């Protein structure tokens, strides 16, 4: 069968988006891996699936698959592309869109300038929310990785994140520590790893090694987790501009029980059809 798709990106974090409301398909893990191949397939960091909602309060169900075929709970850059996609495809005319994800409900708002604000909900720091093997909830946890001791902030944004503060993201050991922390035994479902350089109380630079994908040009939930961890430690104040390699995001979080808001762009690259093997 021929599968219709749209290629999109949020700050260089790229996605294949598939509408499974007006067409039918069931993608196996090996098919997702083939589609993700940048030489023999479409190529993407994540596959985004649009499905009918299971709850009458929601507009859509939003599913996310990594390039290795594993399904994950949330993706912030993908959420912005999801909002742009369902509007472009005329699946909805709403400016405020409610979607269900494996990590919980999200509210997406398309702004007048075309950017998208995502209500990411409240950051969660308790270890069982990630999950993370730790005796208690604290701003920083010590982690033994490759014979060295790291200090990480552990944050769930519907998906798990470990945040390390570094002097410079340019010299940060992303290629070495990223995969080692991602698969650390204290994270039974693996973890996304953020390397955060603080520029000022309202500005950071960030690189993220994403679970199941590797380093990407941008990670929306990673930006949210880094800012939430920094605010909790008293290092940052809302709002915070996050400079990622693919561009900038604006993160707002007053703390406490308030939801965290992420605002940034979403771009359509091209549309196409591909035969499923």
Residues carrying an active site annotation: 75, 219
Contact 101, 74 (CB under 8 A): yes
Contact 101, 63 (CB under 8 A): yes
Is 210 annotated among the ligand-binding residues? Answer: yes
Is 233 annotated among the ligand-binding residues? Answer: no
* Structure token digits, residue 30: 């090996």
Query: What are the angstrom distances between the C-alpha of 235 and each of 65, 96, 165?
Result: 33, 32, 10
Query: What are the angstrom distances between the C-alpha of 142 and each of 14, 46, 75, 148?
Result: 33, 30, 26, 10
Is 221 annotated among the ligand-binding residues? Answer: yes
Q: Is 80 exposed, middle or buried (0-12, 13-18, 19+ CB in 10 A)?
A: buried
Is 121 annotated among the ligand-binding residues? Answer: no
Q: CA torsion 166→168→170→171, rounded to 10°?
A: -70
Is 74 annotated among the ligand-binding residues? Answer: no
Say if strands 2-10 and 141-145 run parallel, antiparallel, or are unpaired.
Answer: unpaired
* Structure token digits, residue 255: 């703390």
Is 103 annotated among the ligand-binding residues? Answer: no
Q: Where are the beta strands (DSSP E) in the chain?
A: 2-10, 13-19, 46-51, 60-66, 71-72, 96-101, 104-110, 116-119, 141-145, 148-156, 160-165, 192-200, 203-210, 214-216, 240-244, 247-252, 261-264, 267-275
Query: What are the angstrom distances between the C-alpha of 161 and each of 20, 133, 150?
Result: 29, 13, 14
Distance (Å, whole) CA 240 – CA 259: 15
Is 46 annotated among the ligand-binding residues? Answer: yes
Q: Residue positions in the annotated binding site?
A: 13, 46, 66, 76-77, 159, 192, 210-211, 220-221
Q: Residue positions in the annotated binding site for substrate?
A: 13, 46, 66, 76-77, 159, 192, 210-211, 220-221
């Amino acid at each position: 069968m021929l599968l219709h798709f749209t290629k999109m990106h949020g700050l260089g974090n790229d996605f294949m988006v598939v509408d499974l409301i007006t067409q039918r398909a069931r993608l196996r893990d090996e098919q997702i891996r083939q589609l993700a191949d940048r030489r023999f397939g479409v190529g993407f960091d994540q596959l985004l699936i649009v499905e009918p909602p299971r709850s009458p309060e929601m507009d859509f169900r939003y599913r996310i698959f990594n390039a290795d075929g594993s399904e994950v709970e949330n993706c912030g850059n993908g959420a912005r592309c999801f909002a742009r996609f369902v509007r472009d495809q005329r699946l909805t005319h709403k400016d405020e869109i409610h979607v269900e994800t494996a990590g919980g409900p999200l509210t997406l708002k398309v702004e007048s300038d075309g950017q998208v604000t995502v209500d990411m909900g409240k950051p969660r720091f308790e270890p069982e929310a990630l999950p993370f093997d730790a005796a208690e909830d604290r701003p920083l946890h010590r982690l033994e990785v490759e014979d060295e001791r790291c200090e990480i902030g552990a944050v769930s944004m519907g998906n798990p994140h470990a945040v390390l503060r570094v002097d410079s993201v340019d010299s940060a050991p992303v290629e070495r520590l990223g995969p080692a922390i991602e698969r650390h035994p204290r994270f039974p479902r693996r973890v996304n790893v953020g390397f955060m350089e603080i520029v000022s109380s309202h500005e950071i630079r960030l690189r993220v090694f994403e679970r199941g994908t590797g380093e990407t040009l941008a990670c929306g939930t990673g930006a949210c987790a880094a800012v939430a961890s920094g605010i909790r430690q008293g290092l940052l104040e809302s709002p915070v501009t996050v400079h990622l390699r693919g561009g900038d995001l604006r993160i707002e979080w007053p703390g406490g029980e308030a939801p965290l808001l992420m605002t940034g762009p979403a771009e359509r690259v091209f549309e196409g059809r591909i035969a499923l093997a």
